[in-house]
Amino acid sequence: MEKIKIGIIICDRYRTCAGGKCFRSLQKREGAFAMYKDQDVELTAYTTCGGCPGGNIEYAPEEMKKNGVTHIHFATGFLVGYPPCPYMEHFGTFIPEKYGMKVVFGTHPIPQKYFLTHKKLNTWNTAFLKEAIQPTLSDEQIRLSYD
């Protein structure tokens, strides 16, 4: 079985995040990392987008690719921050086109408190966001464990 090397890009709003929820969910194969349930995965890179409008997105994937990364995960913060990142859809097109890498939106499961807030505000009402949040929805019990 070939090892999958992933890189995580976090929203610059959360640049001081230590990555605990992302690393825990990778280890437990929860949230968007559930897609690797039966696969050997290595976290190879971790960086921020560089701040709006995502200046680091133009360059970080190139370095990641040189280090073997094939899958880039945009951290769940891109989805649950308020407002969600308005550039995600563009990133999801740009990176595969320029670098040939798979892009996944989300890392750890959406915490329940964020799920409830965004549901009430009807934040995720576009076709893109409805699809983008799917890997991180999990069930309520798992979402509560990430609060």
Give the 3-state secondary structure of the chain. Answer: CCCEEEEEEECHHHCCCCCHHHHHHHHHCCHHHHHHCCCCEEEEEEEECCCCCCHHHHCHHHHHHHCCCCEEEECCHHHHCCCCCCCHHHHHHHHHHHHCCEEEECCCCCCHHHHHHHHHHCCCCCHHHHHHCHHHCCCHHHHHHCC
For the chain, residues with pLDDT lower than 70 are none
pTM of the model: 0.95
87: domain CATH number is 3.40.50
Domain enclosing residue 39, as ranges: 4-145
Count structural domains, the chain. 1
Q: For residue range 2-17, what is the model confidence (pLDDT) as tens digits?
A: 899 999 999 999 999 9
